[in-house]
Structure 1
Amino acid sequence: MSSKDSYELKKKLKEKGLKLTTQRRTILEILEKHEGEHLTAEEIYELVKVDCPEIGLATVYRTVQLLLELDLIEKLNLDDGFVRYEIGKNDNEHHHHHLICNTCGKVYEVEDDLLDNLEDEIEKTFKFKVTDHKVKFYGVCEKCTNDN
């Protein structure tokens, strides 16, 4: 975990009167190491057990919920029947977009915000200040297209 992330976690936990436990730190480290993989709570649990074999699945669920409340991670619904999590982005930035392959299920991230012009137009036309958006594109990835 970067010292900045560790400091931010410590600060936010202290504000809530909570401690930085090994389990909390380890779960956040796992999400950082696997950035872009969109892990489920069960996948996080399997990865955390390597360093913290005594941890229980319920602890992972409680910690994930706490990290969500502290705005350190984000919850994703990629329409695959699972709730997934990833490290949160800077509060001043929009979320990135996701490309989801209908054939193999692979999820690609698009870091560029392709909707800046549309947001500007919405703000001008409707006098509506866009603070965020979530976009998922569905289709077939290059590998699956070439396999057919």
Structure 2
Amino acid sequence: MDIETRAQEFEQALRRAGVRITRQRAALLRVLAGAGDHPDANQLYQRASEAGAGVSLATVYRTLSALETQGVILKLEFEGEPARFEPADGRHHDHMIDVETGEVMEFVNERIERLQAEIAAEMGYEIVRHRLELYVRRKT
């Protein structure tokens, strides 16, 4: 999905939640829509400020909360890190978190998915949803 389409999706979600779309909030939505990483609220605030949005940190938090409530973004809470955010676009993926740099990488591995399903089935269950987080460091 391109940045403008995603920003419009975020804007529509806020309107459904009864949130007024100000110039600052619209700029924040474009920053969030264009984020190729998993930014936290402070990073979004800094990026929006650098883009000239003039948005407050409180507005960033309120906007993220409303978007999460509307189900268009996911709040990711990794050990020892501030909450990060990503679009809830429905495509499943897992995360690797570099414990030294904080970098978050997405990955999909069919072998892991099959193994998880097999383990659940062996125990008489089916997976409804899951999250896998691998905390990693580069080998030296």
TM-score by length of 1: 0.74
Which of 117, 128, 131 does residue 128 from structure 2 map onto?
Answer: 131
The answer to whether residue 4 in structure 2 is matched with residue 2 in structure 1 is yes
Letter in 2 for 1:99: M
* 5+ long unaligned stretches in structure 2: none
Q: Kindly, what percent of the aligned residue pairs are identical?
A: 26
What is the match of residue 87 of structure 1?
87
RMSD of Structure 2 on Structure 1 (CA): 2.5
Q: Give me the whole-angstrom Cα distance separating, in 1, the residues matched to 2:16 and 2:30.
A: 21
Structure 1 residues 4-53: Cα deviation after superposition (integer angstroms, max 9, x where no partner) = x2443344334333343333332232123222x22111111111112344
**8 Å CA contact retained: 1:97, 1:113:** no
TM-score (norm 2): 0.77
Mapped contact 2:17–2:66 kept (Cα < 8 A) = no
Letter in 1 for 2:117: D
Contact 2:24 2:54 in 1 (8 A): no
8 Å CA contact 1:41–1:60 kept in 2: the answer is yes
Are 2:97 and 1:100 equivalent residues in the alignment? yes
Looking at structure 1, the residues matched to 30 and 109 of structure 2 have their Cα atoms a distance apart, in angstroms, of 25
Structure 1 segment 4-43 matched on structure 2, within 5 A: 5-35=6-36, 37-43=37-43
Matches of 1:114 and 1:89, distance apart in 2: 22
Q: Answer with 128-137 or 54-63: which moved more.
A: 128-137
Gaps of 5+ in 1: none
Contact map agreement 1:101 1:139 (CA 8 A) in 2: yes
Q: Report runs of 4+ in structure 1 exceeding 6 Å deviation.
A: none
2:79 counterpart SS class:
coil
Q: Within 5 Å, which residues of 2 pair with 1:108-123?
A: 108-112=105-109, 114-122=111-119
Paired position in structure 1 for 2:69: 69
Secondary structure (helix, strand or coil) at the match of 1:75 reads strand
The number of residues matched between the two structures is 138
Relative distance call for 1:23 and 1:69 in structure 2 (3 A) is farther
